[in-house]
A and B are shown apart, each in its own frame.
Chain A
Amino acid sequence: MRGFIGTYGTALAGLAVFLFFVAFAPNFANPANLLNILKQVSYLAILGIGFTFALTTGELDLSFANIASLAAVATGGLIHGGHPVALAVLAGLAIGVAGGVLNGLLVTRVKVPSLIATLATASIANGLAFWLTAGVAFVGRWDKSFVALGRGSLFGVPALVLWMAAVTLAALFVLKSTRTGIHMVCTGEAEEPARLAGIRVRGMKVLGLTLSGGLAGLAAVLLAANLSSAAPGMAGDYLLTAIAAVLLGMTMFEPGRPNVPGTLVGGIVIGVLSNGLILMGADYYVQDIVLGLIIIGSVALSASTLKKAAFGV
């Protein structure tokens, strides 16, 4: 019983919160609202899964939100300037990947701890985003084919939800069913034994951080498409919430370990809380307090993995 609670306790608590809002928050259970929640957590889940990859290899990535903002303004700037959609999308993805590779090289070659390296990269990305825009957002009636990436739907399912599902399934496949994924997990859990076993741990760390950056690039493209605009700092808020989703995820399914289903459910729990609190008329600061409490609770339950990633102890 204790094992069951340890593995599924947070998910069950999330379910209880969901049922509470179904009972007490007006219009919460409306299918349109439930679909809205999934749409709203899609960026959070995609960025959170990226962070999960980095954390799986034992490294922190605190730059993904600013890299996403930079990728969004690069994509938005190109679309705004009338350039081809494919070029703009590729530019956004490439910036994400490049940011991730840079993080990986700083950590594995220059030996800068990921906590510091990714904070520095975040600062550079923020500066570049403001340099590209001079602080002014790119806004407009953009190419419909680009906007459809974020606002379209297929058989009534919003594109953002489909992107989230695709990223989740792909990440699950990589981590659970490929040799590379297993090597990433081994690298994060026991670096030295993994190295002795012939696993290219530096390569795995670069890959983890690159995937985090790449998914930041994807989230950026979807953000710009959905909002039909791009501004420096537009993804900044996701740093804390996406990390919170991952930490919450580490308290369920595979307790103490970053895991994709946990991150997804963690993101959905945060989205449900945010939506339900608004529907119940809670004041805006209540949401911040609740998010803080979630982080404290999650870190308390999964502290050892985080400490290892942040400080190597």
Chain B
Amino acid sequence: MKKLVSGLVTAAAVAMTAVSPAAAFDLGIVAFQMSSETHARVANAAEAAAKARGWTVTVLNSGGTMPSHVEQLETLVQKGVDGIIVAMGKPVEADAQFAEAKAKKIPVITVMSGTSPHTLFDIQVNEYKVGADAALYLLGQLNYQGAVLTQRFEGNVGTRIRGKVLDAVLSENTAVTVAGSHSMARTQSWRDDVRNGMQALLLQNQGKVKGIWASFDGQAFIIDDLLQAQGMKKGDITLVSIDGGPEAYRRIADPASLLNATVAIPFEDLGKAAVDALQAIAVDGKTKDSVTAGPYLFKDAVLVDANNVKGFLK
């Protein structure tokens, strides 16, 4: 029995040593909600970039709730990690934890979160610009007239901003009218909610709708499937959304799909840029201003449609 216990303890100690090399930069990554593909893409890219540098990485999922989020930040600060990356966090709510990290000289970089006086900076694309790109593309395809349907999601800051920018664009282009709008519920079964809501709107407005705007690609995929099931062909209705990713590019290139365009946010680049910035500042000792002068490090989002999709399919 003694041998078994001592063997287990030794094995655990060896395993610990194997996973935690003493000299490696110890990075904590906190993603607000890993079940959201965009959060996961940032966190996974940051993890891969950090591991490629030989860093020790702890990836945490806050499960979409603030209590877990702040608990995880508190624990990483207590652990004394060398740096923290937060994907889609909430700097105002986590103000106390960020202040504690700063007091312990732990550099924190946020991604698509907003800024805090206690963090280095926030890496993001400008959601207002992203929203404007998608809205203007849709209106251009409609020649600035006709009825559209909108599929919204008010429970997320980014998608809410996109919707508000769409409203601003529509208010200046009154020949384009909103025939119907569905706001998605924040539930696990959101896909069903989108399908049911949009199905009802399409039935109500059969033959009248020229375009559909979706606040993110996941919604657009469901709408695309609905339209295809109704026998529609590419070009019958202009379908536009935002986020980007392999499935969106595949559909844009697919002649059977009705998805015309997405605004591709480079989530993987955002995660990798966070690791690069920590390398420059926390490891190489460069100043924060040498990476970005302000509270933001902006990255470009690109509108992807049939004209340039081939470049994204690689």
Contact = CB atoms under 8 A, between A and B. Distances in A.
Interface of A: 20, 24, 26-27, 30, 32-33, 36, 39-40, 43, 130, 134-137, 139-140, 151, 223, 226-229, 231-238, 274-275, 278-285
Contact of B34 (A20, A136, A279, A284): A284
16 contacts: A20-B12, A33-B75, A36-B78, A40-B71, A130-B185, A135-B155, A139-B90, A223-B67, A227-B66, A227-B93, A228-B92, A237-B65, A274-B75, A278-B72, A278-B75, A281-B19
Nearest to A224: B66
Contacts of A283: 58-59
Q: By CB atoms of chain A within 10 A, which of B57, B70, B74 has the most?
A: B74
A130 B186 CA distance: 9
Task: Give 10 closest A-B pairs by Cβ, nearest first.
Answer: A135-B155, A284-B61, A33-B78, A229-B93, A135-B154, A281-B58, A237-B65, A278-B75, A40-B71, A139-B92
Interface size class on chain B is 35 or more
B180 interface: no
A54 B6 CA distance: 44
Given A36-B75, A278-B72, A24 B66 contact: no
A229 B90 contact: yes
Contacts of B74: 36, 39-40
Contacts, number: 99
A184 to B, nearest CB: 29
Contacts of A238: 67
A237 B63 contact: yes
Given A30-B78, A39-B74, 9 more contacts: A24-B12, A40-B71, A130-B186, A140-B92, A227-B70, A237-B63, A279-B79, A280-B16, A281-B19
A36 B72 CA distance: 11
B95 interface: yes
Nearest to A26: B79
A278 B76 contact: yes
A17 to B, nearest CB: 12
Q: By CB atoms of chain A within 10 A, which of B19, B68, B75, B92 has the most?
A: B75
Contacts of A20: 12
B64 interface: yes
Given A27-B78, A284-B59, A139 B93 contact: yes
Contact of A281 (B20, B90, B156, B185): B20
Nearest to A223: B67
A278 B66 contact: no
